Structure 1
Amino acid sequence: MANLGLQLLGYFLALGGWIGIIATTALPQWKQSSYVGDAIITAVGLYEGLWMSCASQSTGQVQCKIFDSMLSLDSEYNV
């Protein structure tokens, strides 16, 4: 009976790990920064992930650019 409990615990931990891996890989919010100009109207939030870079303006508009290739990234990503 204890063996079944350990197997179920291992199964649910593995399932949670897979869900976590998929969520962190898909989200474009690995690196976040923001810029506020002279007025709050010009506030911009920048998000970068593995696959895309997004800019979110204070007006609610979001613009995303998908990376064409891993080879075309900046040198800070080439470790």
Structure 2
Amino acid sequence: TQQDELDVAAQWRSFISEHSLDAVVCIAAALRRGVLNAEEAQRYQRPAVNLPAPWELSGLGQLHEGAQSADRLLCFGGD
């Protein structure tokens, strides 16, 4: 980024690290947008990975499990 631009991704990584949070990305939404971790890049024979740590791909099962044990659920954006 430019010197005067805010690096939002770096801020999220820092926040996640500081608070020991899970950084989970919906696998279906990610794949629709071409966002791949190493496993999915290999599965779809793509040459690059564009989902860096600490982000992890996961499905609805993990969301449901987390929602059942949490006292609140925050969602950002939507389709």
Both structures adopt the same fold (TM-score exceeding 0.5): no
Q: Normalising by the residue count of structure 1, what TM-score does the alignment of the two structures yield?
A: 0.27
Larger-Rg structure:
1
The structure with the largest strand share of the pair is 1
Greater relative CO, 1 or 2 (CA 8 Å, sep 6+): 2
